[in-house]
Copies of this chain bind each other. A is one copy, B any other.
Protein backbone atom coordinates (compact mmCIF):
# COMPACT_ATOMS: atom_id res chain seq x y z
CA UNK A 1 0.00 0.00 0.00
CA UNK A 2 1.53 3.32 -0.90
CA UNK A 3 1.94 6.13 1.55
CA UNK A 4 -0.36 8.59 -0.16
CA UNK A 5 -3.30 6.27 -0.03
CA UNK A 6 -2.73 5.56 3.61
CA UNK A 7 -2.66 9.25 4.43
CA UNK A 8 -5.93 9.77 2.64
CA UNK A 9 -7.69 7.73 5.25
CA UNK A 10 -5.82 9.13 8.18
CA UNK A 11 -6.61 12.68 7.16
CA UNK A 12 -10.32 12.05 6.94
CA UNK A 13 -11.07 13.26 10.46
CA UNK A 14 -13.34 16.27 10.17
CA UNK A 15 -11.73 19.67 10.79
CA UNK A 16 -12.93 22.14 13.38
CA UNK A 17 -14.19 24.43 10.64
CA UNK A 18 -16.22 21.67 9.02
CA UNK A 19 -17.70 20.72 12.38
CA UNK A 20 -18.64 24.36 12.92
CA UNK A 21 -20.38 24.49 9.55
CA UNK A 22 -22.26 21.25 10.22
CA UNK A 23 -23.47 22.66 13.54
CA UNK A 24 -25.58 25.21 11.62
CA UNK A 25 -27.78 22.44 10.23
CA UNK A 26 -29.27 21.24 13.51
CA UNK A 27 -32.66 20.38 12.05
CA UNK A 28 -31.18 17.98 9.52
CA UNK A 29 -30.64 14.30 10.07
CA UNK A 30 -27.23 12.68 10.27
CA UNK A 31 -27.45 11.50 6.67
CA UNK A 32 -27.60 15.08 5.44
CA UNK A 33 -24.70 16.09 7.69
CA UNK A 34 -22.71 13.12 6.42
CA UNK A 35 -23.23 14.13 2.81
CA UNK A 36 -22.43 17.79 3.50
CA UNK A 37 -19.29 16.54 5.23
CA UNK A 38 -18.40 14.43 2.19
CA UNK A 39 -18.35 17.53 0.01
CA UNK A 40 -16.55 19.67 2.58
CA UNK A 41 -13.93 16.97 3.18
CA UNK A 42 -13.20 16.15 -0.44
CA UNK A 43 -10.64 17.52 -2.89
CA UNK A 44 -7.90 20.08 -2.54
CA UNK A 45 -10.01 22.27 -0.29
CA UNK A 46 -10.95 19.35 1.99
CA UNK A 47 -11.39 20.52 5.55
CA UNK A 48 -11.02 24.21 4.76
CA UNK A 49 -14.72 25.04 4.82
CA UNK A 50 -14.46 26.32 1.24
CA UNK A 51 -15.81 24.64 -1.88
CA UNK A 52 -15.12 24.71 -5.59
CA UNK A 53 -17.76 22.77 -7.53
CA UNK A 54 -17.79 21.90 -11.24
CA UNK A 55 -21.31 22.17 -12.71
CA UNK A 56 -22.02 21.05 -16.25
CA UNK A 57 -25.63 21.61 -17.23
CA UNK A 58 -24.91 23.93 -20.13
CA UNK A 59 -25.41 21.17 -22.71
CA UNK A 60 -29.05 21.28 -21.72
CA UNK A 61 -29.31 24.97 -20.87
CA UNK A 62 -27.41 26.48 -23.83
CA UNK A 63 -27.07 23.62 -26.30
CA UNK A 64 -24.12 21.33 -27.05
CA UNK A 65 -22.23 23.40 -29.63
CA UNK A 66 -22.38 26.60 -27.62
CA UNK A 67 -21.19 24.62 -24.61
CA UNK A 68 -18.59 22.23 -25.91
CA UNK A 69 -17.37 23.27 -29.38
CA UNK A 70 -14.68 25.52 -27.92
CA UNK A 71 -13.12 22.41 -26.32
CA UNK A 72 -14.47 19.35 -28.17
CA UNK A 73 -13.32 16.69 -25.66
CA UNK A 74 -15.98 18.20 -23.41
CA UNK A 75 -18.72 16.66 -25.57
CA UNK A 76 -17.82 13.40 -23.77
CA UNK A 77 -19.56 13.06 -20.40
CA UNK A 78 -16.50 11.33 -18.93
CA UNK A 79 -14.41 14.44 -19.57
CA UNK A 80 -16.14 16.39 -16.81
CA UNK A 81 -15.85 13.66 -14.16
CA UNK A 82 -12.14 13.52 -14.89
CA UNK A 83 -11.72 17.27 -14.91
CA UNK A 84 -13.45 17.61 -11.54
CA UNK A 85 -11.42 14.74 -10.05
CA UNK A 86 -8.08 15.84 -11.41
CA UNK A 87 -8.57 19.48 -10.48
CA UNK A 88 -9.51 18.42 -6.93
CA UNK A 89 -13.02 19.93 -6.89
CA UNK A 90 -15.30 19.27 -3.92
CA UNK A 91 -18.12 17.99 -6.11
CA UNK A 92 -19.43 17.61 -9.66
CA UNK A 93 -22.99 18.62 -10.62
CA UNK A 94 -24.85 17.55 -13.76
CA UNK A 95 -28.28 16.59 -15.12
CA UNK A 96 -29.47 13.00 -15.34
CA UNK A 97 -28.02 12.12 -18.76
CA UNK A 98 -24.49 13.31 -18.12
CA UNK A 99 -24.55 11.73 -14.67
CA UNK A 100 -25.79 8.35 -15.90
CA UNK A 101 -23.19 8.37 -18.67
CA UNK A 102 -20.24 8.38 -16.28
CA UNK A 103 -21.31 7.52 -12.77
CA UNK A 104 -20.31 3.85 -12.84
CA UNK A 105 -16.88 4.56 -14.29
CA UNK A 106 -15.99 6.99 -11.51
CA UNK A 107 -18.03 5.50 -8.64
CA UNK A 108 -16.81 6.83 -5.33
CA UNK A 109 -14.20 9.17 -6.78
CA UNK A 110 -15.95 12.49 -6.30
CA UNK A 111 -19.15 13.64 -4.57
CA UNK A 112 -21.98 14.00 -7.09
CA UNK A 113 -24.86 16.48 -7.21
CA UNK A 114 -27.75 15.47 -9.47
CA UNK A 115 -29.48 18.48 -11.05
CA UNK A 116 -33.19 17.71 -10.85
CA UNK A 117 -34.50 20.42 -13.14
CA UNK A 118 -33.33 22.07 -16.32
CA UNK A 119 -34.44 24.47 -19.00
CA UNK A 120 -33.32 24.73 -22.60
CA UNK A 121 -32.85 27.91 -24.63
CA UNK A 122 -34.84 26.91 -27.71
CA UNK A 123 -37.60 29.14 -26.45
CA UNK A 124 -37.16 32.71 -25.27
CA UNK A 125 -39.48 33.12 -22.31
CA UNK A 126 -39.62 36.46 -20.61
CA UNK A 127 -40.80 34.51 -17.57
CA UNK A 128 -38.79 31.29 -17.63
CA UNK A 129 -39.59 28.04 -15.89
CA UNK A 130 -37.67 24.78 -15.42
CA UNK A 131 -38.67 21.21 -16.19
CA UNK A 132 -38.18 18.41 -13.65
CA UNK A 133 -35.68 16.04 -15.23
CA UNK A 134 -34.66 13.72 -12.38
CA UNK A 135 -35.79 12.31 -9.04
CA UNK A 136 -34.52 11.71 -5.53
CA UNK A 137 -34.58 7.98 -6.33
CA UNK A 138 -32.25 8.72 -9.25
CA UNK A 139 -29.89 10.57 -6.93
CA UNK A 140 -29.82 7.62 -4.52
CA UNK A 141 -29.27 4.95 -7.16
CA UNK A 142 -26.49 7.06 -8.69
CA UNK A 143 -24.71 7.42 -5.34
CA UNK A 144 -25.10 11.21 -5.21
CA UNK A 145 -24.54 13.27 -2.06
CA UNK A 146 -27.02 15.98 -2.99
CA UNK A 147 -29.74 17.12 -5.31
CA UNK A 148 -29.44 20.38 -7.25
CA UNK A 149 -32.40 22.56 -8.16
CA UNK A 150 -32.79 25.89 -9.96
CA UNK A 151 -35.30 28.57 -9.01
CA UNK A 152 -35.93 31.83 -10.87
CA UNK A 153 -37.17 34.31 -8.22
CA UNK A 154 -39.08 37.03 -10.01
CA UNK A 155 -40.42 34.84 -12.80
CA UNK A 156 -44.16 34.43 -13.17
CA UNK A 157 -43.45 30.73 -12.54
CA UNK A 158 -41.49 31.28 -9.34
CA UNK A 159 -44.14 29.68 -7.14
CA UNK A 160 -44.17 26.53 -9.26
CA UNK A 161 -40.42 26.22 -8.82
CA UNK A 162 -40.53 26.99 -5.10
CA UNK A 163 -43.16 24.31 -4.57
CA UNK A 164 -41.32 21.67 -6.54
CA UNK A 165 -38.16 22.47 -4.66
CA UNK A 166 -40.11 22.10 -1.42
CA UNK A 167 -41.34 18.65 -2.35
CA UNK A 168 -37.98 17.46 -3.68
CA UNK A 169 -36.12 18.88 -0.67
CA UNK A 170 -38.44 17.18 1.81
CA UNK A 171 -37.88 13.80 0.16
CA UNK A 172 -34.15 14.36 -0.26
CA UNK A 173 -33.60 15.38 3.36
CA UNK A 174 -35.57 12.42 4.67
CA UNK A 175 -33.26 10.14 2.70
CA UNK A 176 -30.12 11.91 3.90
CA UNK A 177 -29.31 13.92 0.76
CA UNK A 178 -28.18 17.54 0.86
CA UNK A 179 -29.99 20.24 -1.14
CA UNK A 180 -28.12 22.68 -3.38
CA UNK A 181 -30.16 25.53 -4.84
CA UNK A 182 -29.22 27.66 -7.87
CA UNK A 183 -31.11 30.92 -7.17
CA UNK A 184 -31.16 33.06 -10.30
CA UNK A 185 -33.48 36.08 -10.30
CA UNK A 186 -35.09 36.43 -13.71
CA UNK A 187 -38.38 37.37 -15.29
CA UNK A 188 -40.52 40.11 -16.76
CA UNK A 189 -40.60 41.84 -13.38
CA UNK A 190 -37.02 43.00 -13.68
CA UNK A 191 -34.58 44.29 -16.23
CA UNK A 192 -31.39 42.45 -17.21
CA UNK A 193 -29.40 44.60 -14.77
CA UNK A 194 -31.85 43.61 -12.04
CA UNK A 195 -30.79 39.97 -12.25
CA UNK A 196 -27.44 40.76 -10.65
CA UNK A 197 -28.46 43.81 -8.60
CA UNK A 198 -27.15 43.58 -5.05
CA UNK A 199 -30.61 43.84 -3.47
CA UNK A 200 -32.02 41.19 -5.80
CA UNK A 201 -29.12 38.76 -5.36
CA UNK A 202 -29.30 39.14 -1.58
CA UNK A 203 -33.04 38.55 -1.76
CA UNK A 204 -32.54 35.47 -3.97
CA UNK A 205 -30.08 34.04 -1.43
CA UNK A 206 -32.56 34.65 1.38
CA UNK A 207 -35.39 32.94 -0.52
CA UNK A 208 -33.27 29.86 -1.16
CA UNK A 209 -32.29 29.75 2.51
CA UNK A 210 -35.89 30.12 3.66
CA UNK A 211 -36.89 27.29 1.32
CA UNK A 212 -34.48 25.06 3.22
CA UNK A 213 -31.39 24.99 0.96
CA UNK A 214 -28.20 23.70 2.53
CA UNK A 215 -25.97 25.24 -0.13
CA UNK A 216 -26.96 28.30 -2.14
CA UNK A 217 -25.50 29.35 -5.46
CA UNK A 218 -25.96 32.92 -6.69
CA UNK A 219 -24.31 35.15 -9.26
CA UNK A 220 -21.80 37.79 -8.19
CA UNK A 221 -23.78 40.97 -7.54
CA UNK A 222 -23.22 44.41 -9.01
CA UNK A 223 -23.67 47.65 -7.08
CA UNK A 224 -26.93 48.32 -8.89
CA UNK A 225 -30.07 48.38 -6.75
CA UNK A 226 -33.19 47.27 -8.58
CA UNK A 227 -36.09 47.77 -6.23
CA UNK A 228 -37.11 51.21 -5.03
CA UNK A 229 -38.28 49.93 -1.66
CA UNK A 230 -34.89 48.31 -1.17
CA UNK A 231 -32.90 51.34 -2.34
CA UNK A 232 -34.33 53.44 0.47
CA UNK A 233 -33.09 50.93 3.04
CA UNK A 234 -29.64 50.49 1.52
CA UNK A 235 -29.18 54.26 1.48
CA UNK A 236 -30.67 54.95 4.88
CA UNK A 237 -28.69 52.20 6.61
CA UNK A 238 -25.57 52.92 4.61
CA UNK A 239 -25.05 49.24 3.73
CA UNK A 240 -21.56 49.07 2.19
CA UNK A 241 -21.81 47.74 -1.36
CA UNK A 242 -19.14 49.70 -3.22
CA UNK A 243 -16.61 46.88 -3.57
CA UNK A 244 -17.21 43.32 -4.66
CA UNK A 245 -15.96 42.03 -1.30
CA UNK A 246 -18.50 44.24 0.46
CA UNK A 247 -21.27 42.95 -1.75
CA UNK A 248 -20.24 39.35 -1.14
CA UNK A 249 -20.23 40.06 2.59
CA UNK A 250 -23.76 41.41 2.30
CA UNK A 251 -24.98 38.35 0.39
CA UNK A 252 -23.41 36.12 3.04
CA UNK A 253 -25.25 38.16 5.66
CA UNK A 254 -28.48 37.71 3.69
CA UNK A 255 -27.87 33.94 3.88
CA UNK A 256 -28.83 33.70 7.54
CA UNK A 257 -25.89 35.78 8.80
CA UNK A 258 -23.47 33.35 7.19
CA UNK A 259 -25.07 30.26 8.70
CA UNK A 260 -25.88 28.80 5.28
CA UNK A 261 -23.17 27.93 2.73
CA UNK A 262 -23.35 30.41 -0.14
CA UNK A 263 -21.18 30.07 -3.22
CA UNK A 264 -20.79 32.18 -6.33
CA UNK A 265 -20.79 31.45 -10.04
CA UNK A 266 -17.59 31.80 -11.97
CA UNK A 267 -18.96 33.85 -14.82
CA UNK A 268 -18.84 33.37 -18.57
CA UNK A 269 -16.02 31.64 -20.44
CA UNK A 270 -12.98 33.25 -22.01
CA UNK A 271 -12.94 35.57 -19.10
CA UNK A 272 -9.67 37.20 -18.26
CA UNK A 273 -8.09 34.94 -15.67
CA UNK A 274 -6.58 37.72 -13.60
CA UNK A 275 -9.99 39.32 -13.35
CA UNK A 276 -11.40 35.96 -12.27
CA UNK A 277 -8.73 35.55 -9.60
CA UNK A 278 -9.49 39.06 -8.34
CA UNK A 279 -13.12 38.01 -8.03
CA UNK A 280 -12.12 34.92 -6.09
CA UNK A 281 -10.06 37.09 -3.75
CA UNK A 282 -13.09 39.31 -3.25
CA UNK A 283 -15.30 36.29 -2.50
CA UNK A 284 -12.75 35.05 0.02
CA UNK A 285 -12.36 38.49 1.58
CA UNK A 286 -16.13 38.91 1.79
CA UNK A 287 -16.57 35.58 3.55
CA UNK A 288 -18.06 33.65 0.64
CA UNK A 289 -17.74 29.89 0.85
CA UNK A 290 -16.48 29.25 -2.64
CA UNK A 291 -17.22 29.06 -6.31
CA UNK A 292 -19.12 26.99 -8.81
CA UNK A 293 -17.28 27.35 -12.09
CA UNK A 294 -18.70 25.71 -15.19
CA UNK A 295 -18.13 27.27 -18.60
CA UNK A 296 -14.98 28.97 -17.49
CA UNK A 297 -13.59 25.52 -16.63
CA UNK A 298 -14.62 23.24 -19.46
CA UNK A 299 -14.54 25.71 -22.34
CA UNK A 300 -10.76 25.80 -22.30
CA UNK A 301 -8.10 23.13 -22.69
CA UNK A 302 -7.96 20.61 -19.90
CA UNK A 303 -4.47 21.46 -18.67
CA UNK A 304 -5.33 25.14 -18.67
CA UNK A 305 -8.57 24.46 -16.82
CA UNK A 306 -6.78 22.47 -14.16
CA UNK A 307 -4.18 25.17 -13.71
CA UNK A 308 -6.94 27.77 -13.38
CA UNK A 309 -9.04 25.73 -10.95
CA UNK A 310 -6.03 24.95 -8.78
CA UNK A 311 -5.11 28.62 -8.68
CA UNK A 312 -8.66 29.40 -7.58
CA UNK A 313 -8.38 26.76 -4.85
CA UNK A 314 -5.02 28.10 -3.76
CA UNK A 315 -6.54 31.54 -3.35
CA UNK A 316 -9.34 30.10 -1.20
CA UNK A 317 -6.87 28.02 0.82
CA UNK A 318 -4.48 30.90 1.42
Contacts and interface: CB of A to CB of B under 8 A. Distances in A.
A30 B154 contact: no
Given A29-B141, A30-B141, A159-B129, A154 B122 contact: yes
Interface string A39-65: 011111111100000000001101111
Contact of A96 (B7, B119, B202, B212): B212
Number of copies: 5
Contact of A203 (B64, B141, B207, B237): B64
A199 B62 CA distance: 11
B9 A43 contact: yes
Interface in A11-55: 11-15, 18, 22, 24-38, 40-48
Contacts of A147: none
B142 A30 contact: yes
Interface in A105-139: 105-110, 118-124, 129-135, 137-138
Given A104-B33, A200-B122, A159 B131 contact: yes
A163 B131 contact: yes
Contact of A60 (B72, B144, B207): B207
Q: List 10 tightest A-B contacts by C-beta distance, closest first.
A: A37-B108, A34-B143, A26-B104, A8-B11, A97-B210, A76-B257, A27-B100, A5-B47, A33-B107, A9-B46
